[in-house]
Amino acid sequence: MSKIGRRPIDFQGVQVDIKNNEISYKGKKDAGVYILPDILEVEVEGNMLRLAPSRSVVLSVRERRDMNRVWGLSHALLKNKIFGAKQGFEIVLQINGLGYKAVVTSPQKLIFSLGKSHKIDFELPAGIAAEVDGKTGQRLVLKSSDNVILGQAAGKIRALRPPEPYKGTGIKLASETLFRKPGKTKS
């Protein structure tokens, strides 16, 4: 039995329709369809969804072990889709360094000044909204209903200027802890 797959999924605030293995969801932030694998089935209990192994499929011991992995993965993916449709996801990036900043020029375009000889233009993928602190330009908030493309975009932005361990300058996640290295000392 999958420990994660057994947990119920709360879909309060999201409209859910189930047809065979297609789960349609619609919330205030997003709408879509999640297709469940054939070896799983879904049950509705009030405002909760429960995923369970299909009773009609007979599996060997090895296939049952694989089914537990698929069960937990499907639970996590479906839960993220429903949460994204209800509330959405948010990642906060912190830009550290003298003169380092970001500016939003259009809804899908950012311009970074990161201590290089040129400014860096960055196109955001569709479905991601960006907000920059207007005062300093060093706090960037990315919002989306899809956590996968949100994480990829945040990773690409962080890769423009990763934080360096001596001064701590660069782009880092706000929740990330940097381990600073001591510089050279005089003997």
Question: Over the stretch 66-116, which tens digit does the pLDDT of each residue have?
Answer: 888 899 999 999 999 999 999 999 999 999 999 999 999 988 999 999 999
Q: Which of 86, 110, 142 is the last residue of a domain?
A: 86
Q: Which of 61, 86, 111 is the last residue of a domain?
A: 86
CA gap 39, 166 in Å, rounded: 51
Residues written for the chain: 187
Residues 6 or more apart whose Cβ sits within 8 Å of residue 165: 178, 179, 180, 181
Least confident of 24-33, 60-69, 80-89: 60-69
Average pLDDT (117-137) is 93
96 and 56 both lie in a single domain: no
Domain assignment of residue 165, yes or no: yes
124 and 82 both lie in a single domain: no
Domain assignment of residue 185, yes or no: no
Q: CATH code at 141?
A: 3.90.930.12
Domain assignment of residue 122, yes or no: yes
**pLDDT the model gives residue 23:** 94
112 and 135 both lie in a single domain: yes
Domain assignment of residue 31, yes or no: yes
Evaluate if residue 61 carries a pLDDT over 80. no
93 and 82 both lie in a single domain: no
Task: Convert the chain into a string of H (helix), E (strand) and C (coil).
Answer: CCCCCCCCEECCCCEEEEECCEEEEECCCCEEEEECCCCEEEEEECCEEEEEECCCCCCCHHHHHHHHHHHHHHHHHHHHHHHHHHCCEEEEEEEECCCCEEEEEECCEEEEECCCCCCEEEECCCCCEEEECCCCCCEEEEEECCHHHHHHHHHHHHHHCCCCCCCCCEEEECCCCCCCCCCCCCC
65 and 101 both lie in a single domain: no
pTM of the model: 0.86
Instruction: Print the domain residue range for 106.
Output: 89-173
